[in-house]
Amino acid sequence: MDVSRLLVLLEAPLQLTWQNAVMMAVGGVLIYLATAKDYEPLLLLPIGFGAILTNLPLTGVAGPDGFLGILYKAGISTELFPLLIFIGVGAMTDFGPLLENPKMALLGAAGQFGIFGTLMLALWIGFPMNEAASIGIIGAIDGPTSIYVSSKLAPHLLGPIAVAAYSYMALVPIIQPPVMRLMTTEAERRVRMPYTKREVSRLVRILFPLVVTVVVSLIAPKASPLIAALMLGNLLRESLVVERLSNSAQNELNSVTTLFLGLVIGSTMAGNQFIQPTTLMILGLGLLAFVLDTFGGVLLGKIMYLLSGKKFNPLIGAAGISAFPMSARIVQRLGQEYDFENFLLMHAMGANAAGQLGSVIAGGVVLALVAGIV
């Protein structure tokens, strides 16, 4: 037998670059974080696996005819996956606490401060408008929104942006509390807010997704697909007549899409494209976006504290972001740390639901503004 034939077996190892090796290690770290630390395992596990797979030379899995490449074309280029996930998110989200307390909508807007703050900073550093907007959208703290916006504006940055969005989301319980402590006094953190009971009728719950879809679509047409998918899911939930569809959206549809989305995001992490100074900048700016969101939310919380005659606990402002219901739980936990009889959870849930809505609308606003410029 000709020895040179055996070289075929060495072909792939010989083409393995150090960048490939580094990215496979990164994939390994993501899988470690998912399995050992329970950090967003539903996403980080498939992302990690996708990253390892795509960095194996000559497999072609991420190429145009590979199965990850086909999934990319089918679900990311078309923006289909983020939208399908949003139907599930809408079916999972209880907007009741927001409807009980509509003024929380303000906090859902303030919690988007990081998007615009980071966008400005990225522009100032020298990123072009489409890239700056995609980086800023990490501040939506919402994976599907980030993927949706960046796949439209700057698809070449999708990998780092999605990785930043999802890994920082897992770190929200670590990122938020120091900012919240820094910005509030102990007396402010101790402000007690008794539960305010208000029954929300079924009619209101059903009208809410319809009205939001129509109003937001009219104001920010670019946000329409995102908000419509989110609200469709919510309508399935609140109508109470299509429990099967609601459950499917929350479970099967969401799981399948999350699996595909994770794998495809992982497949964008090819070594030669990912290992660049830009990636580090994106990761840094993304972290800043999370901090600025918290800052903006708590700042408005403090203003509401003053306007309400010190009856509003400014910690709740931190929940005006999209990480639902994680952020509301952080507020509850931090509040109880200073006064174990203080239960801020339901108020924070209202702000958190508003943040979910706010991030989607902000994503649409960014798309509309940038589309007009680029």
Q: Which residues bind other proteins (CB under 8 A)?
A: 94, 97, 186-187, 190-197, 309, 311, 325, 328-329, 332, 336, 340-341, 343, 345-346, 349
Contact assessment for residue 295 and residue 330, using Cβ atoms and an 8 Å cutoff: no
Contact assessment for residue 119 and residue 132, using Cβ atoms and an 8 Å cutoff: yes
- Of 17 and 196, which has the nearer Cβ to other proteins? 196
Contact assessment for residue 266 and residue 47, using Cβ atoms and an 8 Å cutoff: yes
- Shortest spacing between CB 91 and other proteins, in angstroms: 15
Give the contacts of 250 (CB within 8 A, at least 6 positions apart): 88, 91, 92, 233
How far apart CA 72 and CA 371 sit, in angstroms, is: 23
Burial class (CB in 10 A: 0-12, 13-18, 19+), 299: middle
- Shortest spacing between CB 307 and other proteins, in angstroms: 15
- Of 196 and 255, which has the nearer Cβ to other proteins? 196
- Of 100 and 131, which has the nearer Cβ to other proteins? 100
- Shortest spacing between CB 312 and other proteins, in angstroms: 10
How far apart CA 93 and CA 11 sit, in angstroms, is: 50
- Shortest spacing between CB 351 and other proteins, in angstroms: 13
- Of 222 and 329, which has the nearer Cβ to other proteins? 329
- Of 131 and 188, which has the nearer Cβ to other proteins? 188
- Of 32 and 195, which has the nearer Cβ to other proteins? 195
- Shortest spacing between CB 326 and other proteins, in angstroms: 10
C-alpha distances out from residue 198 to 64, 98, 353, Å: 54, 11, 17
3-state secondary structure (DSSP) of residue 55: coil
- Shortest spacing between CB 53 and other proteins, in angstroms: 34
Contact assessment for residue 267 and residue 53, using Cβ atoms and an 8 Å cutoff: yes
